[in-house]
A and B are shown apart, each in its own frame.
Chain A
Amino acid sequence: MRPFPRLADRSFPLAMGTLAIAAFALLVLPLATVAWVSFFEGKIISFPPSGYTLDWYRAAWEMPRFRDGLQTSLRVGLVATAVSLATGVPAALFLARTRFPGRAAIQSVLLGPLIVPGIVAGVALYMFMIETEIATGLQTAQTFGGLCLGHSLIALPWTVRLVTAQLVGMDRQAEEAAAVMGARPLTVFWRVTLPAIRPGLVAGGLFSFVISFVDLEKSLFLVGPGTTTLPIAIINYLEWSVDPTIAAVATAQIAVISAVMIVTDRFFKLTRAF
Chain B
Amino acid sequence: MNKQLTCIECPMGCLIEVEVENGAVKSVKGNTCLRGKMYAENEVICPLRVVTSTVKTVSGKMVSVKTDKPVRKSEIFEVMKKINSLTLDRNVVIGDVILANIDRDANLVATQNYND
A and B: interacting chains: no
Chain B residues proximal to chain A, CB less than 8 Å: none
